Amino acid sequence: METHTPSGPRYSRVAMLLHWLIAISVIVNWRIAEAGEHAAKADREAIMANHFALGMIILVLTVLRVAWRLVHRPPPLAAHLKSWEVALARVTHGIFYILLISLPLMGWVAMSAYGQAIDMFGMFDWPALPIGADPDAAGAVFDIHAVLGKAMILLIGLHLLGVIKHTVFQRDGNLFRMLPFGKVKG
Ligand code: HEM
Ligand code: HEM
């Protein structure tokens, strides 16, 4: 497989587009899940249907992002980072990809164990996996999903702290690595 290495300090346009689409979708999907949690029982199903459909779209976007990343290598992390910063960034980004794949997969498996397809905003049905009905297992998978979903939100907080530390306090232009404008310091 031929791989492309970046010529500057920035991510490619496609990587940027996918990063921001995924970031916005995850934050919106978190707020939808919270709204579902706090809604009256009669409204909960309709609200959560949006969480399921957007979750599956995030899975598709993440698969595209990972495939693109395998062929178009990201720019190396800034050379001035300390070794603990490099380690923390690598671990955070790695866990992000694991959660971005496993959260919707768990949702899909659990819905399938309820014998239910996922209604994709009324456009089509995302089919259930051919597994036997097991509502108890489905409930257990959703419990784990909710815990890992909250871990994802904490990780976003950490990620944001990193961006603020670098962009606002150290002024190394870190944020602009993920944007097509602004000045990035090596
Ligand atoms: C909300 C969900 C978000 C997720 C899941 C997410 C995920 C990621 C991942 C996985 C990377 C590593 C990219 C790679 O090497 O493939 C990354 C990089 C980056 N993200 Fe996010 N991100 C999110 C939100 C944000 C937000 C809100 C900001 C800024 C305000 C941001 C700014 C950045 C920047 C600047 C980088 C490049 C870091 C570097 O290479 O130095 N991200 N993000
Ligand atoms: C990347 C995609 C997804 C993210 C980031 C995500 C995130 C979350 C979060 C943060 C919660 C917890 C809300 C709370 O308890 O305060 C949650 C709950 C839930 N999610 Fe997701 N989710 C995703 C995809 C899916 C999918 C695809 C499905 C189903 C097909 C799904 C089904 C559920 C259900 C049923 C709950 C409620 C669980 C419970 O409280 O027991 N999610 N999700």
Mean pLDDT of the chain: 96
Pick the residue whose CA is nearest to atom 22 on ligand 1: 23
pLDDT band with cut points at 50, 70 and 90 for residue 3: confident
Q: pTM for the complete prediction?
A: 0.96
DSSP track, 79-143? TT--HHHHHHHHHHHHHHHHHHHHHHHHHHHHHHHTT--EEETTTEEEPPPS----HHHHHHHHH
Would the CB of 56 count as within 6 Å of ligand 2? yes
Would the CB of 106 count as within 6 Å of ligand 2? no
pLDDT band with cut points at 50, 70 and 90 for residue 1: low
Listed residue (161, 166, 186) closest to 77, CA to CA: 186
Would the CB of 72 count as within 6 Å of ligand 1? no
Would the CB of 39 count as within 6 Å of ligand 2? no
